[in-house]
């Protein structure tokens, strides 16, 4: 499968498929396609996988598109202004991503639920204690909010992240929660009660405008209508 990502800040990934090649996607992600692309919808792995997708913020069903009778083309569009990034998934590289990150994958990639080992790390981290985990072999196209800033953390290195700004990380990274010190900082600082510490080693992707932050920024203007 070949692909090209176009059209920021409202990106779309255009995939070119060989005959009989398939790609899976989240419900409603398909934007356009060639007439020979055939769609099928299923639970993708049974009841367990259905509930896994539901808990991780996705539809319980997945759509599979297959190129029939020749080469095919299909495009998947993001749901919010931001970025679509391709991730090469392999047995040596697992990616942990925010809820709702899944857009589309090649057939060799599996998306499953990921629970934070420490309940507090997820509960106070802004995105819930459930994230998405991508394993297998192939390409995962994930969508994020706003722009993306990347960091490569060595063993022993860490970064503090405000609520909701973690887009994705290598599974070799770990997370913990740190409370903001000082009563005045908590009451008047406007930064909430906790920060998330991401610990290396591994690569980290941070998003600049989480969709809940965008909604909060727009709500005063919407309320005035």
Domain of residue 80 covers 2-219
Q: Is residue 14 part of a domain?
A: yes
Higher-pLDDT residue of 34, 225: 34
- Among 35-39, 93-97, 126-130, 178-182, whose mean pLDDT is lowest? 126-130
| Class of residue 64 by CB neighbours under 10 A (exposed 0-12, middle 13-18, buried 19+) | middle
Average pLDDT over every residue of 142-149: 95
Phi, psi of 130 (to 5 degrees): -110, 130
pLDDT above 70 covers a percentage of the chain that reads 73
- Sheet containing 130-136: which strands, arranged edge to edge? 109-115, 130-136, 95-97, 166-170, 202-207, 148-153
Mean pLDDT of the chain: 82
Please check the confidence at residue 216 and state whether its pLDDT lies above 90: no
Q: Is residue 225 part of a domain?
A: no
Q: Is residue 224 part of a domain?
A: no
Q: Is residue 6 part of a domain?
A: yes
Domains contained in the chain, number: 1
Give the model confidence (pLDDT) of 17-66 as tens digits.
999 999 999 888 999 999 999 999 876 555 455 555 555 455 567 899 99
Query: What's the CATH number where 186 sits?
Result: 3.60.160.10
Please check the confidence at residue 181 and state whether its pLDDT lies above 80: no
Q: Is residue 50 part of a domain?
A: yes
């Amino acid at each position: 499968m070949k692909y090209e990502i176009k059209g920021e800040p409202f990106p779309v990934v255009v995939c070119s498929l060989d005959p009989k090649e398939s790609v899976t996607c989240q419900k409603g992600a398909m934007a356009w396609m060639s007439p020979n692309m055939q769609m099928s919808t299923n639970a993708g792995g049974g009841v367990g996988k259905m509930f896994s997708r539901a808990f991780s913020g996705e539809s319980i069903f997945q759509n599979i598109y297959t190129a029939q009778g020749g080469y095919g083309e299909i495009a998947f569009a993001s749901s919010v202004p931001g970025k679509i990034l391709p991730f090469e998934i392999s047995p040596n590289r697992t990616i942990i991503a925010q809820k709702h990150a899944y857009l589309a994958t090649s057939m060799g990639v599996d998306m499953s639920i990921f629970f934070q080992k420490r309940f507090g790390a997820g509960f106070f981290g802004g995105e819930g204690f459930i994230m998405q985990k991508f394993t297998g072999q192939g390409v995962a196209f994930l969508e994020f909010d706003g722009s993306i800033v990347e960091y490569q953390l060595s063993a022993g290195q860490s970064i503090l992240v405000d609520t909701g700004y973690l887009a994705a990380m290598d599974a070799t990274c770990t997370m913990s929660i740190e409370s903001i010190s000082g009563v005045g900082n908590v009451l008047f600082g406007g930064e909430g009660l906790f920060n998330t510490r991401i610990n290396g080693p591994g690569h980290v992707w941070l998003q600049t405008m989480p969709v809940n932050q965008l909604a909060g920024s727009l709500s005063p203007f919407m309320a005035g209508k």
